[in-house]
Structure 1
């Protein structure tokens, strides 16, 4: 166990012991009830934190999922005679299933529309429990909910505090493992840049659904706790204000595994203090929500983290990275090139209204070569790359990659098949470290499942350490190791370009698509890029390059393809293309337009 982990668990033990001592120090039910509510609110917010802060999905309907858990445990125990422990577990599972039900239609929309869908779900649930009297009893409610018990003895208030404390500690440890590993990085990648996440093998849809399920499960557990502790539930518990309260805890707490705890402590205490004045209470919620969104976007956790780094840096030690690692090597590819062709596109066509950026283009990429795709601005080069990588689906045409048809296949699956890429406009995960950016590239090569990642030991731990070491090897290949713990967005532009290339290499591509990698680089950085591309080819990776810098194209290319107005007008060796009259005309205009211009050196941009 590393020193930082030991310190974390030591502090966790100290806090847990102090909280566990509260029921021994006082028998005041009001105080114990507040401690219990802090724990319940933390449980609900801990999962919602994954959805909102990590995955970037705003939900205003989680009171409905709270209701699913509460009414599930009420009906199962009071009406159908279930064991209270079995009902408690079933309530969380049922809420998780409802999370899938919400996620599948909700994720077809984004932003405010997504929030409206979740609001709709919450309102529907509120209406059902209010109006369906025969089942849910409306405001009258369901009495006789069987509480948790041990040895036939029902939990007292102090037992509830200890039980919720145990659940909170367990959830905190599991979420800390989950969010510091493969799954946490994938959630953040989806939040930051969905297209880039797909390009390295992360399924955006899968991780959004998973985040909804996690948040639904914890909200369902929170609802079950309230119903069983009160031994009663009615429709007054299920209001839109409850959804707002949960969201406020998450936003006010901040983007951290500790955020929900900080938010739950502060806002539960504030809620109890202002409970006598509902109007002031609601005004305070609104004011705090605005404050959290605009004045303190990183929340309490971000403020505490910044304060600690500035005044007590020893409390936030930097990760110790291993040295002396061997040189990185590409993994052997599972796919095979067919008849010496790695990728074969035929008759590719894509139109946007009257604009046709890809017009019946045929393309063949042979393994082991550097191919360049050139042409004037607007020739359709990036559209063709987007088609090859699955971001854009052609209206007609076929693509065979490593023996498999990939038209209509999702970009994340294409990436896992061995096709990596960079982007014309940088798409880094800018708030993550350099090291974590490369680890995201390794996502599909880290063999640790969801439940193993929750536990965080054994196979998952070994896989995470192996991913760290491999990411460092890749960074070393591109001379970025000394920047490993820097925030990606803080790097100079040229190093950010190189980092995006390192992330693409981490996918272990057979074919690497580079979309204007020299854009924005100075002459020295451009010359260094020539050497980098040569080293990539030497690793056994085939490259397809879009570039306007003709010196770079001529220096690294084995084969050049020229597009103009969406059509392929020439291809061949750099020398053949450079002297092709149609290429010269495409860059410099017709003979009449060339008067007074020297075209003897071929096309220049």
Structure 2
């Protein structure tokens, strides 16, 4: 019986370790090969506090958890600007360094580790036997699993998945990438450190073998095997791999050392086969038991359309997919000069080495006016958008939004102040649903902030309902409310462009910068996208459009700037600009 409890204890420890790693890899897209080493910090801290300082069981667990969280947050800082490949190398190096320190430090027991930890007890009850330790470990694991579920299946988890998909797009809708990365590293490390401390107490020792790079790779295997980004996948992956170890040792009738080597070969082969046959893992991210039973011919009572696909009909004035009308015309009677400037740019400059991409640009985006930015390829239009939205810092000049100097601010800060942008390549979160893409842009969601998510569940629930309502309103406006439950990656390019506009609307920004919203769109979608853009000023939006489709731009823009060689060289209506032979020659390269 104690043997079974021993296996169960190992399963619980590795399940929580896998869940915490899944927060990093599956949700936030931060691959770490130092997770076992971080758990080792918790294990060694608990062992040192218990042996050398005589600290009680629970206080040592708390301190060990905090130390591991601090180590994870520290590790996250240099990782903030790294690509996935470099992050793997960084965390691998960190794991090797930590294990080497443990192996070579006398005060940490060297290669043998810290032995002789006291028998843990809670409320005066000894946890010496596996069966006694199990119930305490089960309670702690359940708390960790509930915390994991609360984080993953929440607005906070939605932001983490957005970071995994596209950090720049997440910043463009107002998400502070720095804060989320540090938080998720610290949270995952805290859970790992707690399990490392419990593992050390369970074995009565903390040794380098428990927390080496092989263990980190094993944890990654568990997450991938079960299904990255899945709520239950790591549980299944960890349980299968841990339970298989004693089965292999028993059936092969070989020593533990040889069994460990054979086990690694089997796990590697199984992982290769799984990646070929089912790359998303045993339980994929969007796995639904309801759909699985339906495919087997066993539909559940009440099964209908998936959540998120039922929504109100398009609002009055929304873009109707079947509407035959064209995009309409700019308001010929509009007095551009009388409109209040919302964005003013003065002397903006940016050079890349010896190439001046933006050279002393002055312009104004006026309230509820669609402004076109036209010019040949390489004129600096997208670079100007990048400067306006903080993607790159300017070398000189000023940018003011509603009178506030925003020069050099970060993209997320500028988006929160009321200026948001789309991208040439759309940059939707393709593995998230259309509804989630738009809900993510809701800027006043307490559930996206860790303290409020955990401390104010009612406010979070109310905000989630409001975010859903707003997202459906925005999707109704662009005529895609019927696509709300689809993955964004399954949409046509024209539909993706419309979702990008809906996402901008959900930010609540007053100024929308659209980078080639029509270019590359199938002809049958051009009028529909243009119709949506033309309706934005009536919603109180100030719009700036970069577009190479001159026919569509002529239907959209109230006023245009002509940009060439990094400078604004002319302004007026598009018809006036295109009547100038010099500008025609500059645009078409004649």
TM-score by length of 2: 0.88
Structure 2 match to 1:270: 244
Is 1:228 the counterpart of 2:170? The answer is no
- What's the counterpart of residue 266 of structure 2? 284
Question: Of the candidates 177, 186, 197, which is equivalent to residue 213 of structure 1?
Answer: 186
Deviations 1:250-286 (A, max 9, x none): 1111120111101111110122333532221221233
CA–CA separation in structure 2 for the residues paired with 1:81 and 1:405: 57
Aligned mates of 1:92, 1:119 — CA distance in 2: 21
**Paired position in structure 2 for 1:300:** 282
Q: 1:551 to 1:321 in 2, by over 3 A?
A: closer
Task: Tell me the SS of whatever aligns to 1:314.
Answer: coil
Write out aligned runs for 1:98-177 (5 A). Answer: 98-136=71-109, 138-139=111-112, 141-154=114-127, 156-177=129-150
State the shift of 1:292 in Å.
Answer: 4.7
Residue of structure 2 in register with 1:203 after alignment: 176
Within the candidate set 307, 311, 314, 1:319 is matched to 307
Is residue 42–residue 64 contact of structure 2 (8 Å, CA) maintained in 1? yes
Paired with 1:177 and 1:392, the residues of 2 have a C-alpha distance of: 35
Post-superposition Cα deviations, 1:181-219, rounded to whole Å, max 9, x if no partner, equal 211111111111121111111122322222211221111
Deviations 1:415-466 (A, max 9, x none): 1111111111121111111100001111x32123314434783222222122
Whether contact under 8 Å (2:516, 2:548) holds in the other structure is yes
Structure 2: distance between partners of 1:105 and 1:423: 28
1:549-583 C-alpha deviation (Å, 9 max, x unpaired): 22222222221000112221101233432333432
1:74 aligns to what? 47
Matching residue of 1:407: 407
SS of residue matched to 1:257: coil
Alignment of 1:105-504 (within 5 A): 105-136=78-109, 138-139=111-112, 141-154=114-127, 156-255=129-228, 256-275=230-249, 276=256, 277-302=259-284, 305=288, 307-308=292-293, 310-311=295-296, 312=298, 314=300, 318-319=306-307, 340-442=340-442, 444-448=443-447, 449-454=449-454, 457-504=457-504
| 247-256 vs 445-454, which moves further | 445-454
Q: How far 1:155 sits from its partner (Å)?
A: 5.5
Task: Give the structure 1 partner of residue 577 of structure 2.
Answer: 577
Secondary structure of 2:583's counterpart equals helix
Cα distance change of structure 1 residues 495 and 202 upon mapping to structure 2, 3 Å threshold: same
Q: What displacement does 1:141 show?
A: 2.3
1:289-322 per-position Cα deviation (integer Å, ceiling 9, x unaligned):
4345454321111296574563255398722667
CA separation in 1, counterparts of 2:95 and 2:587? 59
Distance in 2, matches of 1:136 and 1:313, equals: 58
Q: In structure 2, how many angstroms separate the alpha carbons of the residues matched to 1:82 and 1:57?
A: 34
Structure 1 pair 57–581 and aligned structure 2 pair: CA distance change class (3 A): same
Kindly indicate whether the alpha-carbon contact (under 8 Å) linking 2:48 and 2:114 is maintained by their aligned counterparts in 1. no
Instruction: Report the counterpart of residue 567 of structure 1 in structure 2.
Output: 567
RMSD: 2.5
Q: Which residue of 2 aligns with 1:6?
A: none
Distance 1:107 1:282, change over 3 A: same
Cα distance in 2 for partners of 1:325, 1:469 equals 12
Residue aligning to 2:70: 97
1: CA distance between counterparts of 2:349 and 2:488? 37
Match of 1:552 in 2: 552
Alpha-carbon contact 1:559-1:571 (below 8 Å) kept: yes
Question: Are the structure 2 counterparts of residues 186 and 140 from structure 1 closer, same or farther at C-alpha, using a change threshold of 3 Å?
Answer: closer
Q: Structure 2: state its 5+ residue gaps.
A: 250-255, 318-337
Match of 2:18 among 45, 70, 77: 45
> In structure 2, how many angstroms separate the alpha carbons of the residues matched to 1:148 and 1:452?
34
Q: Shift of the alpha carbon at 1:231?
A: 2.5
Cα gap change, 1:97 to 1:140, in 2 (>3 Å): closer
Equivalent-residue separation in structure 1 for 2:42 and 2:480 (angstroms)? 49
Contact 1:370 1:559 in 2 (8 A): yes
The offset of 1:518, in angstroms, is: 0.7
C-alpha displacement at 1:354, in angstroms?
4.4
Q: Any conservation in 1 of the 2:368–2:542 contact (CA below 8 Å)?
A: yes
Structure 1: which 5+ residue stretches go unaligned?
A: 1-27, 330-337, 594-605
Between the two proteins, the alignment pairs up a number of residues equal to: 554
> Distance in 1 between the 2:47 and 2:115 partners?
7
With normalisation by structure 1, the TM-score equals 0.86
| Match in the other structure for 2:326 | none
Distance change (3 Å), C-alpha of 1:328 and 1:238: farther
Give the 3 Å change call, closer, same or farther, for CA 523–278 of structure 1 in structure 2. closer
Paired with 1:339 and 1:494, the residues of 2 have a C-alpha distance of 32
The whole-number CA distance in structure 2 between the counterparts of 1:539 and 1:149 is 61
TM-superposed deviation, 1:116: 1.4
1:378-410 Cα deviation digits (max 9, x unpaired): 222111111111112222222112222223211
